[in-house]
Amino acid sequence: MRKNFLSLIITLLISAELIAQNISNVSEEESKQIKLVNINFNTDNKINNNKILNDNTPPITNILPISPWQTQDFDITFYDSDAESGIQKAYYQVIEYDGIDWGANAKKGFLGDNFDAPSINNRWNIITGNWTQQNGYLTHTDSTVYKSYINTYLNQELSNRYLYEFEIRILGNNKTDKRFGFYFFSSDSLLENGGNGYFIWFRLETNKLEFYKVTNDTFTKTYEVSCTINLNQWYNIKVIHDRIAGKIWVYVGNILKGAWQDPQPYATGGKYISLRTGSCAAQFNQIKAYRSRYDNATYTIGVGNDITKDLRYESINDSTVAGKIKSIVQDNADNLSNIAVCDVYVDYTPPISPSYVWDGIDYDLDTISTYPITTKWGQAQDPNSGIHHYEVCLGRYPGDNSIINWTNVGLNNNFAFNPPNLTYDSIYYISVKTINNAGLNTITSSDGFVFTNPFPIIIDFSASDTLLPLSNATVHFFQLCQNVNSYIWDFGDGIGSLEPNPIHTYTAPGYYTVKLIGCNMQNECDSLIKTNFIHVYDNVGIYNYDQQKVYIYPNPAKNIINIISEQDIKEILLCDIQGHVVISTTNSNSLDVTNISNGIYQCIVKIDNKIITKLVIIDK
Angle at 129 between CA 125 and CA 130, to 5 degrees: 90
- Of 36-45, 166-175, 396-405, 437-446, least confident by mean pLDDT is 36-45
CA distance 520 to 434: 43
> pLDDT at position 431, please?
98
All structural domains of the chain with their residue ranges = 88-291, 357-451, 461-537, 542-618
3-state helix, strand, coil in the chain (%, to 5): 5, 50, 45
- Of 51-65, 107-121, 155-169, 488-502, least confident by mean pLDDT is 51-65
The pTM score is 0.71
Residue 244 to residues 25, 412, 480, 543: CA-CA distances in angstroms?
Answer: 17, 60, 99, 126
* CB-based contact 254:236 (threshold 8 Å): yes
What architecture is domain 88-291? Sandwich (2.60)
Angle at 149 between CA 155 and CA 192, to 5 degrees: 80
CA distance 564 to 553: 9
CA distance 328 to 338: 6
Query: How many Cβ atoms from other residues are within 10 Å of residue 452's Cβ?
Result: 16
CA distance 427 to 422: 10
Specify which residues 261 forms β-bridges with. Answer: 247
* CB-based contact 53:84 (threshold 8 Å): yes
- Encode pLDDT of 460-469 as tens digits: 999 988 888 8
> pLDDT at position 577, please?
73
What homologous superfamily does CATH list for 461-537?
Immunoglobulins (2.60.40.10)
Q: What is the DSSP string of 42-99?
A: -TT--B-----B------EEEE----SEE-S-EEEEEEEE-SSS-EEEEEEEEEEE-S
357-451 and 461-537 in the same fold: yes
CA distance 202 to 211: 9
CA distance 179 to 201: 7
Residue 467 to residues 24, 278, 382, 579: CA-CA distances in angstroms?
Answer: 124, 120, 73, 6
Q: pLDDT band at 306, cuts 50/70/90?
A: very high
- Of 20-34, 108-122, 177-191, 484-498, least confident by mean pLDDT is 20-34
Specify which residues 514 forms β-bridges with. Answer: 530
Q: Cis omega before residue 500 (within 30°)?
A: no
Whether 35 shows a pLDDT value over 80: the answer reads no
| Average pLDDT score, the chain | 89
474 burial (CB, 10 Å; 0-12 / 13-18 / 19+) is: exposed
CA distance 104 to 97: 8
Q: pLDDT band at 33, cuts 50/70/90?
A: very low
Whether 7 shows a pLDDT value over 70: the answer reads no
Torsion angles phi and psi, residue 3, rounded to 5: -60, -45
CA distance 550 to 575: 18
* CB-based contact 536:503 (threshold 8 Å): no
Angle at 244 between CA 103 and CA 32, to 5 degrees: 85
CA distance 47 to 439: 60
Residue 330 to residues 36, 63, 64, 183, 249: CA-CA distances in angstroms?
Answer: 16, 16, 19, 22, 11
* DSSP code at position 557: B
The set of long-range contacts for 460-467, using a CB threshold of 8 Å and a minimum separation of 24, is 460/528, 461/514, 461/516, 461/528, 461/530, 463/514, 463/533, 463/534, 466/533, 466/534, 466/535, 466/578, 466/579, 467/535, 467/537, 467/575, 467/579, 467/602
* CB-based contact 431:398 (threshold 8 Å): yes
Q: pLDDT band at 437, cuts 50/70/90?
A: very high
Phi-psi label, residue 586: left if phi above 0, alpha if psi -120 to 50, beta otherwise: beta
CA distance 247 to 262: 6
Whether 46 shows a pLDDT value over 50: the answer reads no
> pLDDT at position 53, please?
53
- In this structure, is the dihedral angle defined by the CA atoms of residues 488, 492, 496 and 500, taken in order, positive or negative? negative
* Radius of gyration over every alpha carbon of the chain, rounded to an integer in angstroms: 49
Q: pLDDT band at 606, cuts 50/70/90?
A: confident
Q: What is the DSSP string of 90-109?
A: EEEEEEEE-SS-EE--GGGT
- Encode pLDDT of 492-509 as tens digits: 998 989 999 999 999 999
The domain 542-618: what is its CATH number?
2.60.40.1220
> pLDDT at position 268, please?
95
* 357-451: CATH, from 3.30.830.10, 3.20.20.70, 2.60.40.10, 2.40.33.10: 2.60.40.10
Q: Which of 65, 120, 161, 110 lies closest to 311 in space, CA to CA? A: 110
Q: Which amino acid is at 592?
A: D
Q: Which amino acid is at 553?
A: Y
The four Cα atoms 407, 411, 413, 419 give a dihedral, to 10 degrees, of: -20
Check residues 596 and 47 and name the one with the higher pLDDT: 596
| DSSP H/E element including 366 | none
Whether 66 shows a pLDDT value over 70: the answer reads yes
Q: Cis omega before residue 263 (within 30°)?
A: no
CA distance 478 to 496: 14
What number is the average pLDDT over the span 25-34? 35
What is the distance in angstroms between the CA of the first residue and the CA of the last residue of the chain?
116
* Pairing label, strands 404-410, 367-368: unpaired
- Encode pLDDT of 258-299 as tens digits: 999 999 999 999 999 999 999 999 999 999 999 999 999 999
Residue 5's Cβ-side half-sphere holds a number of Cα atoms within 13 Å equal to 5
Whether 58 shows a pLDDT value over 70: the answer reads yes
The share of the chain scoring above pLDDT 90, in percent, equals 74
* Pairing label, strands 111-113, 281-293: antiparallel
Strand, coil or helix: 546: helix
* CB-based contact 530:542 (threshold 8 Å): no
Q: Which of 535, 543, 544 lies closest to 574 in space, CA to CA? A: 535
Q: What is the DSSP string of 519-531?
A: E-TT--EEEEEEE
Specify which residues 433 forms β-bridges with. Answer: 391, 443
CA distance 157 to 332: 23
Whether 60 shows a pLDDT value over 50: the answer reads yes
CA distance 430 to 358: 8
Q: pLDDT band at 4, cuts 50/70/90?
A: very low
* DSSP code at position 423: P
